[in-house]
Amino acid sequence: MDSAQTGRSVPAPTAVVTGGGRGIGYAVAAELLRNGCEVVLVARDGQRGEAARSALAASAGTRVRLVVGDLSSVRTVRATAQALRDSCPRIDVLVHNAGLWPSRRVLNEDGLEQAFATNHLAPFLLNHELEPLLTASAARVVQVSAGLYVKGRVDPERTPTGLDFHPVRTYADTKLCNLLLVPRFAERWQGTGVTVNAVHPGVIRTGLGDRGGPLGYLLKAVKLLWKSPEVGAGPVVRLALADEVAGVTGRYFELDQERPPAPVATDAVLAGRLWTQALELTGLEQTPPARSDAGGPP
């Protein structure tokens, strides 16, 4: 029965975009707004986030909101999740876009390497913290991945604290960690209507990985040849909204095409180890799979 028959209006989908203050996140937010969504930007920098919200609100009005949230540690991710719960009565789309490509090893307040915490643990913890909202709305979760995951070599004993830090490969390592757990979340949410997929949106011209020195100047010059954030937003928004991918879950996409992950991302033993480790590092208990009101798998 549709809304015309019931006399009730259908609320616009609510989409949460992490790292929404600039780059691909901002472009994704703009496209989601053009498609009629209510959008909640999550940005660490409140001033930059407010500037982004204000710019989007010029055409979208009150359909765009800002949650200032830091995804750099377990404590701050939990605080961000609480702020989202306070701000969002429902979540129909969750886009994990926030990411970090560090040039040097930095440990966070938990003693964890910063890219590992932001790129890998933050989406893991947010998925768990927001799970009741996600399952209530049969949400779509989209993880912005990177083709560089194929260069990743994860060592669960060394990668979390950056003992194997490398200014290029650490980004690949942490993106691989994240991708390895996408099928695990798909399995967890089976029967709830929640879908989760990862997408490499292409080689996009953003501030990710910017650094000083001769290498930094060279990188900026090379980036002039890369595609714009608006182009990168397309594959992300497709997974978030398109009818043709409704119900598709646990998959990896390069642009608009589903691709089988490289063998390095299909190691079930490593995925299981990373899942258990993430539970321990975030202080979560192993809980049964989420279930819909209609009942899901035991």
CA–CA distance, 202 with 88 (Å, rounded to integer): 30
* 59, 76, 115, 205, 231 from 131: Cα distances, Å: 31, 18, 23, 32, 30
Nearest-5° angle of CA 107, CA 74, CA 254? 85
| Residue 171 annotated among the catalytic residues of the structure | yes
DSSP 218: H
Which helix (H) or strand (E) segment holds residue 271: the answer is helix 268-282
Edge-to-edge strand order for the sheet containing 140-144?
64-68, 38-43, 14-18, 93-96, 140-144, 195-200, 252-254, 257-259
User: Of 26, 149, 171, 252, which is the active-site residue?
Assistant: 171
CA–CA distance, 78 with 81 (Å, rounded to integer): 5
CA–CA distance, 14 with 237 (Å, rounded to integer): 13
Q: How many residues does the chain have?
A: 298
- The alpha carbons of the chain give a radius of gyration, in whole angstroms, of 18
Residue 26 token pair: 């901002």
Residue 113 token pair: 């390497």
Catalytic residues: 171
